[in-house]
Amino acid sequence: MDEKDKKDLYKEFGIDNPDEFFEGENDREAIRQEILGRIQATKEIHNQQRSKPGLKRNLSMAAAIGLILLSAALMLYYQNSGPQSNYITVVVPKGETREVVLPDGSTVWLNAASTLKYPKKFGKKRTVYLLDGEGFFDVIHDEHVPFVVDASGIKTNVLGTSFVVKSYKKLSTMSVSVVTGKVAVSDDRKQLSVLVKDQEVVYHKDHRKPNVVKVKAQEKTAWNSGKVILNAANFEDVILAVENAFQVKIDYDIEKFKNCSTTINFDTRKSLTDAMETLKDIQGITYQIKEKEVLIVGNGCN
């Protein structure tokens, strides 16, 4: 089949540009649903035609078979030649952490509810993508090949050092904390910050203005050993940490608690009740646990 015939076939099934159809980082599930939807629609047409003899039924059957074959071909095309084929994606569920060894031997510890994408083989740059979550990166030094973590449009550039990037989609901020060495942080337009050991930069996702603070960066990796240490953290950070550690959903009045700054330590190897009791003592909340849901009430910090 030549290219013209292929394009005509794509258009017959509503696909004007197959390259655009497969475009994007996270489209695999969307494509699967699109294909299933088109197959189902064609089956419904076929079912409506079943009682009609002759040409219409034959055409309906042919269309159904053609669509299924096309769908299979499209999925094969996506898997074998799409943008995902040269990448590995690691998804860590709630309640777990995971170590990932990258192609250059660098390691990443991913916190609960995190997603990392990285190439099967590095090129002139060692670029990885923290699509969601938090990771502790321990990067092997290579002065000729920079290492870049891309998260929420913010890029952390290093030659070899260790640092934490926190960029959960549910949070209004993202941060970079340096455990050893030095890192440069930038967006698509300019360099935003240069950090050294025990410095952290926090960006609000709305305005991207950097706020650099002094921290004990090693504490930022405590979740890797089952402990959560949060100092002067937004209440939303605390809630997400509890949700991810204990695999629960927490309901609370966001407006009431949005101005709360909380310092808390808890052990993820202990019970949810232990963590909630600690939060109760610190923040003055009351709570109710019902299976995998927690309801928090209180006066907040307005």
Domain boundaries, the chain: 3-81, 86-219, 226-297
Highest mean pLDDT of the ranges 3-17, 73-87, 176-190: 176-190
Neighbours of 40 (CB within 10 A): 10
3-state helix, strand, coil in the chain (%, to 5): 35, 35, 30
Q: Which CATH number fits domain 226-297: 3.90.1010.10, 3.40.640.10, 3.55.50.30, 3.40.470.10?
A: 3.55.50.30
Q: What pLDDT score does 78 carry?
A: 44
pLDDT at 122 over 90: yes
- pLDDT band per the 50, 70, 90 thresholds, residue 163: very high
Q: What pLDDT score does 105 carry?
A: 97
Q: Which amino acid is at 91?
A: V
- The distance in angstroms from the start CA to the end CA of the chain is 67
- pLDDT band per the 50, 70, 90 thresholds, residue 206: confident
- pLDDT band per the 50, 70, 90 thresholds, residue 4: low
Given a contact cutoff of 8 angstroms between Cβ atoms, the answer to whether 174 and 236 are in contact is: no
Q: In which region does residue 198 sit, left (phi positive, over 0), alpha (psi from -120 to 50) or beta (all else)?
A: left
- pLDDT band per the 50, 70, 90 thresholds, residue 44: low
Of 91-105, 129-143, 204-218, the range with the lowest mean pLDDT is 204-218
| Distance separating alpha carbons of residues 28 and 34, to the nearest angstrom | 10
Q: Which amino acid is at 54?
A: G
Mean pLDDT across 262-287: 96
Quote the pTM value. 0.72
Give the residue among 170, 181, 179 at the shortest CA–CA distance from 238. 170
Mean pLDDT across 115-141: 97
Q: Which amino acid is at 286?
A: T
pLDDT at 10 over 50: no
Coil/strand/helix, residue 39: helix
Q: Sign of the C-alpha dihedral, residues 134, 138, 144, 145? A: negative
Of 62-71, 86-95, 135-144, the range with the lowest mean pLDDT is 62-71
Q: What pLDDT score does 7 carry?
A: 52
Coil/strand/helix, residue 119: strand
Q: Does domain 86-219 have CATH number 3.30.1490.20?
A: no
Coil/strand/helix, residue 294: strand
Mean pLDDT across 88-108: 97
Supply φ then ψ for residue 160, to 5 degrees.
175, 110
Coil/strand/helix, residue 259: coil
Integer Rg of the chain from CA: 25
Q: What pLDDT score does 82 carry?
A: 52
Q: In this predicted model, what pLDDT tens digit does every residue of 220-239 receive, in sequence order?
A: 999 999 999 999 999 999 99
Given a contact cutoff of 8 angstroms between Cβ atoms, the answer to whether 147 and 106 are in contact is: yes
